Amino acid sequence: MSSSDERHDKPDNSAVSRRNFLKGTSLALTIPLVTGGENEVKAAGADVPILGPDKVNITLNVNGAPKQASVEPRVTLLDALRNDLDITGAKRVCDRATCGACTVIMDGKPIYACTTLAIEAQGKKIRTVEGLEQNGKLHPVQQAFWDNDAQQCGFCTPGFVMACTALLEKHPKPTPEQIELGTGGNLCRCGTYHGIKAAIAQASASRLTPRTAPAKLTRGGKSNG
Ligand code: FES
Ligand code: FES
């Protein structure tokens, strides 16, 4: 399953699937290596630096602001957000590209943060649920989830909100098929799908434009979590 119609429309290149994630890891392990420095080696015959296993400094653009962290190259975007940057809106549930609780928007497309390496996310525009609120006002999708009681425990909700936001930015008036594809990569154990679909219908009445730089973060820069 995937967390958006993007991933259904373009399964090969619109997101890092678990399979590609593992293939990439395997590839990195099988490339012949030559020493290139204390913490850096290069693939033999190629001018491609391979970082690690020690920590490396990275910069992530999260909700319009540069964020620095020092992480091992194996660290996922989800772990970097939650553990290093204290941005905890994206949730860890399955940790294997199945449930969508970790969904964030990267360069306009919803992705599973649990199967995206943090170092790969450098140079991309990452948006998390913390970046949706503007000037103390909930984003239309957040407001629609609230109005339609589209959550129970709420653990899946940030991922659903991000998947729905990406869906409506791409398809302001989504068809039932587009809604199915756009939310098909997200699971709600509480079964709030009826409310989520009602929220999408309400939010689709609002004109959504991509947002990258929130004027104000919620709850000191992080959501419940
Ligand atoms: S899909 Fe990432 S935590 Fe479930
Ligand atoms: S509201 Fe509980 S898992 Fe979705």
Residue range 33-44, pLDDT digits in tens: 434 444 455 555
Residue range 49-87, pLDDT digits in tens: 778 889 999 999 999 999 999 999 999 999 999 999 999
Ligand 1 neighbourhood includes 101 CB (under 6 angstroms): yes
For ligand 2, the distance from its centroid to the CA atom of residue 77, given in whole angstroms, is 22
Q: What is the pTM of this model?
A: 0.76
Ligand nearest, relative to CA of residue 186: 1
**Whose CA is closest to 78, among 57, 55, 101, 61?**
101
Ligand 2 neighbourhood includes 161 CB (under 6 angstroms): no
Encoded amino acid at 216, one letter = K
Ligand 1 neighbourhood includes 102 CB (under 6 angstroms): yes
Residue range 6-34, pLDDT digits in tens: 444 444 444 444 455 544 444 444 343 43
Ligand 2 neighbourhood includes 156 CB (under 6 angstroms): yes
